[in-house]
Amino acid sequence: MADVTHPAAAIFNFKPGGEMTEETTVNVGMSEEQLKQLAQDMFAGKIYTDRHLPKGMKPHMIFLPLVFLDEEQSKEFQQQIKDEKVFMIYEYMDQAGPRSLNGQPQFLSYRILNKEQTIKLFDYYEKIKKAIDAI
């Protein structure tokens, strides 16, 4: 099984305020086929995840809507992380804004996967990687 260590605990080292964007997407009912496609897209470099963050960079610096969570939303999001309902944050690279921060893309939207979905995603990713390596 792939390592799916959760880095999102560092999200909340900021002062929250504002409103949550409608662009935020929770993939509650993602099918197996959608997860397989996401794994293919991840392998092809089409998505950026919180696992790509360089050391010392926090997710809210890249996924900008996280900055705008008010105190109540921030607490709810933290609880979802603890409950493993939020386990990976990602977005497609074609959704990156025109600016970057220290060479990293910045997004005005984000999507999330829960722990179960993330484990399946990384399992599919490893299968794709092994298949490509075997060629």
Q: What is the pLDDT of residues 21-36, one digit of tens each?
A: 444 444 557 899 999 9
In a domain, 12, yes or no: no
Q: What is the pLDDT of residues 67-83, one digit of tens each?
A: 999 999 999 998 998 99
In a domain, 117, yes or no: yes
Q: Check if the beta carbon of residue 92 is closer than 8 Å to that of residue 41.
A: yes
The three-state (H, E, C) secondary structure of the chain, written as one string? CCCCCCCHHHHHCCCCCCCCCCCCEECCCCCHHHHHHHHHHHHCCCEEEHHHCCCCCCHHHCEHHHHHCCHHHHHHHHHHHHCCCCCEEEEEHHHEEEEEECCEEEECCCEEECHHHHHHHHHHHHHHHHHHHCC
In a domain, 90, yes or no: yes
pTM: 0.77
Q: How many domains does the chain have?
A: 1
In a domain, 10, yes or no: no
In a domain, 31, yes or no: yes
Domain range for 99: 23-133
